[in-house]
Amino acid sequence: MRLPGDKDTRAAHRLAPLLTPRSVALIGASPKPGTVGRGMLASAMMGETQPARIHCINPNYPEIDGVPCYASLGDVPGPVDMAVLGVANARLEAALADAIRHGVRAATIFASGYLEDDPVNHGAPKLTARLSAMAKEAGVAICGGNCMGFYNLEYGLRICGFPPPDWMRAGGISFITHSGSAFSALCHNDKRLGINLAVSAGQELVTNVADYLDYVLALDSTKVVGLFLETVRDPEGFCRGLEKAQQRNIPIVALKVGRTAESAALAVSHSGAVAGNHAAYTALFDHYNVIAVDTMDDLVNALHFYAGGRDLAPGGIATMHDSGGFRELAMDLAVERKVPFARINADTTAKLAARLDYGLEPINPLDAWGTGNDWEGIFHDCMQALIEDPDTALGALCVETRDGYALTEGYGEMLRKIRATTTKPVILATNVASNASDDVAVRLAIDGVPVLSGVASMLTVVRKAMDRRDRGMVAAAPAAPKGLREKWRARLERGATLDEAESLALLGDYGVPVLPHRVVETETEVLAAVREFGTVAVKTAMPGILHKSDVGGVKLNLDRETVGGAYADLKQRLGPRVIVMPMAQEILKAKGVELSFGMTRDPQFGPIVMVGAGGVLIEMLQDRRFALPPFGPEEAMRHLDALALRPLLDGKRGAAPADLASLAQALSRFSILAADLGDLIAEMDVNPLIAGPQGCVALDALIVPRS
């Protein structure tokens, strides 16, 4: 490990005064047991050596535990890089001002920053805003407020108001969290974790997740980054960090909380109404190949998995068990999660058959426990055969563990030996989520064999790891057509919602296929359109009617005999202006599958594209995908393949398959439109878009400008 004075990435980083300070002042240090002042001193003094000089600040004591204690920052000899403000909310403002006055370059704030009688009621900003403004003006980095602090174990510094356990060790996991309890849950309870940096970011008064992410991605030791997110306060910086992680092949595992849809009520279009405020994060994580998890169990298991430092090989999982029942359970769980098992070849099958006790099947997943005779040799040879099979991506031994138990020790030694013979991941997974075996799990983790708690969570993590492996880097999207932005800017800046004809024209300009149509206002014109198109749909085109079907404004399958009465009804109830277009099946020569394209604009991440079920089912089915535009046809196909309706596009019950290439091209062109005009458009709704064997066409569209 480099010393603090060495010229390395850490010392050069803008967060060096905060995360690798040469000197630290503990303001409010105290000898009183159970206090934050006592806890932060005990934390800072942990370890065999302290990389930073520690100074206590408290006028009531000359020293605390042998550490000199000064009355004020001004009495400290030499400069102070970072001040830990272990004081109450009422004293925070004065303490930070004093630290800035004495040239402190960073601070950590544990307190919440909330005052019951805050002068905000008299026109002044809240305390948190005042602290943030003071620090930003002075160029001072801040961890917190309302945080637990940070552990830079690679550097050897622990800043926390509650002393961490002494068994924490340095490793390749970086953990950045908005939740102090998540910080404690991982760092203070799981001995398997080897951490280079763990940060409780809190309110992010100055320094935010994007800043910490940039720091850990510059460390050679970082193997995986875990994020517990409430929000992202620096979207551009955060995206730069995710892109850098992709370039360095460092997995990012993110648990985003607040997955709600309250913002949907503000949307005008159908696609906006079903998006919700989590759609942007779904699209963001997908775009940058972030491993998005839903539970703390999956977050921890994913961190353990990638801390092993090995990427998945091609193929499926190979699992070995000491129980037929647990093998069946693993099979059930894997099928539910769409985790493929390695298809072992004849050579592997023969190797298994030669070692297994009579009556055991040489298959994957493998139950290898028979009579117990020579169990160590049998398990070793069978796992070795499985891991060497060309279609095995990783090997997992699914057993319970117990300290001091001969079987557990034997399993552990076997996994260590096999890991040394392969570059593939080799893991141990317990069948139940609780893992009572601290010592065995820790020793295996240190030796590069991740121990994952619970087969169900393990398989979820493996599925996501396979998705990450198979995705790879995203191909660049085609450029937007030249001149179209200038063509449409003036119309969009007028602010009024585009009518259907205008919306279809805009889509057509960007290459999204649309039905031919005529906007007319008399029965004579309607009849002329029928003569041109054949069987038609007639829809109201009166201004202000956003969702035509809701007011009975759509008439379908009309010919010369029936169109007159249908038009008369629309004219009488809604007004004379209508749009006439041929029925889609006249163009596609088949009924086709209804889909929808949509776009909403997220205030943080900009335009978000949606593709999903169309027609009246758009709001009834949860069948949709969100994506950051723009993207090319290959990326579009990946989103289409993920829809539940995808099998319908292959043709069912005699129906011809849809032209998937044209559908993917249309979705790609829509995404290019969304990216090119996204700053001018609030929402777009293309519904339905019909996909058939002769291509696809948009039947209806609604485009709402931002203004």
DSSP character string of 198-252: EEE-TT-SS--HHHHHHHHHT-TT--EEEEEES--S-HHHHHHHHHHHHHHT--E
Q: What is the pLDDT of residue 271?
A: 41
Q: What is the rounded CA–CA span in Å between residue 521 and residue 524? A: 9
Query: Is 647 exposed, middle or buried, given 0-12, 13-18 or 19+ CB atoms closer than 10 A?
Result: exposed
Q: Which residues contact 325 (CB under 8 A, 6 or more apart)?
A: none
- Three-state secondary structure call for residue 305: helix
pLDDT, tens only, 396-437: 999 998 888 899 999 999 999 999 999 999 999 999 887 656
Whether the CB-CB separation of 11 and 20 falls below 8 Å is answered with: yes
Task: Tell me the CATH number of domain 9-299, given options 3.40.50.261, 2.40.110.20, 3.40.50.300, 3.30.70.580.
Answer: 3.40.50.261
CA distances from 76 to 135, 161, 564 (A): 21, 22, 92
Phi and psi at residue 151, to the nearest 5°: -125, 110
The low-confidence residues of the chain, meaning pLDDT below 70, are 1-11, 119-123, 260-276, 435-437, 473-474, 616-621
The answer to whether the Cα torsion of 229, 233, 239, 240 is positive or negative is: negative
N- to C-terminal Cα separation, the chain: 55
DSSP secondary structure letter of residue 474: P
640: its two tokens: 């289409």
Q: How many residues does the chain have?
A: 707
Whether the CB-CB separation of 313 and 391 falls below 8 Å is answered with: no
* CA-closest candidate to residue 322, choices 234, 252, 206, 414: 414
Phi and psi at residue 393, to the nearest 5°: -85, -35
pLDDT, tens only, 565-591: 999 999 999 999 999 999 988 777 778
Q: Which residues contact 138 (CB under 8 A, 6 or more apart)?
A: 100
Q: Which residues contact 514 (CB under 8 A, 6 or more apart)?
A: 504, 505, 507, 508, 697, 698, 701
Under CATH, which number does the domain 310-471 receive?
A: 3.40.50.261
Whether the CB-CB separation of 431 and 398 falls below 8 Å is answered with: yes
Which is it for strands 224-229 and 252-256: parallel, antiparallel or unpaired?
A: parallel
Q: What is the rounded CA–CA span in Å between residue 374 and residue 547? A: 72
Q: What is the pLDDT of residue 273?
A: 41
Whether the CB-CB separation of 47 and 79 falls below 8 Å is answered with: no
Max Cα separation, the chain?
Answer: 102
- The structure tokens 């060497």 sit at 388
Q: Is 118 left (phi over 0), alpha (psi -120 to 50) or beta?
A: beta
Q: Where in the chain is the domain with CATH 3.30.470.20?
A: 590-705
Peptide bond into 123 cis (omega under 30): no
Give the predicted TM-score (pTM) of the model. 0.90
Q: Which residues contact 194 (CB under 8 A, 6 or more apart)?
A: 169, 170, 171, 172, 173, 307, 445, 446
Q: What share of the chain is helix, strand, coil (3-state, %, to 5)?
A: 40, 20, 40
Q: What is the rounded CA–CA span in Å between residue 259 and residue 295? A: 12
Query: Is 254 exposed, middle or buried, given 0-12, 13-18 or 19+ CB atoms closer than 10 A?
Result: buried
* CA-closest candidate to residue 60, choices 37, 83, 79, 88: 37
Q: Which residues contact 573 (CB under 8 A, 6 or more apart)?
A: 551, 552
Q: What is the pLDDT of residue 476?
A: 81
436: its two tokens: 């009572």
Q: What is the rounded CA–CA span in Å between residue 566 and residue 553? A: 10
Q: What is the rounded CA–CA span in Å between residue 539 and residue 546? A: 12
| Residue 180 identity | G
Query: Is 37 exposed, middle or buried, given 0-12, 13-18 or 19+ CB atoms closer than 10 A?
Result: buried
Q: What is the rounded CA–CA span in Å between residue 544 and residue 280? A: 29
Q: What is the pLDDT of residue 670?
A: 98
Q: What is the pLDDT of residue 272?
A: 43
Q: What is the pLDDT of residue 260?
A: 58
58: its two tokens: 């408290």
Under CATH, which number does the domain 590-705 receive?
A: 3.30.470.20
Q: What is the pLDDT of residue 270?
A: 43
Strand arrangement, sheet containing 224-229: 157-159, 149-152, 194-200, 169-177, 224-229, 252-256, 291-293
Q: What is the rounded CA–CA span in Å between residue 110 and residue 84? A: 8
Half-sphere exposure for 14 (CA within 13 Å, toward CB): 12
Q: What is the pLDDT of residue 96?
A: 98
Q: Where in the chain is the domain with CATH 3.40.50.261?
A: 9-299, 310-471
Phi and psi at residue 239, to the nearest 5°: -65, -40
Whether the CB-CB separation of 410 and 375 falls below 8 Å is answered with: yes
385: its two tokens: 């055969």
Q: What is the rounded CA–CA span in Å between residue 80 and residue 103? A: 7
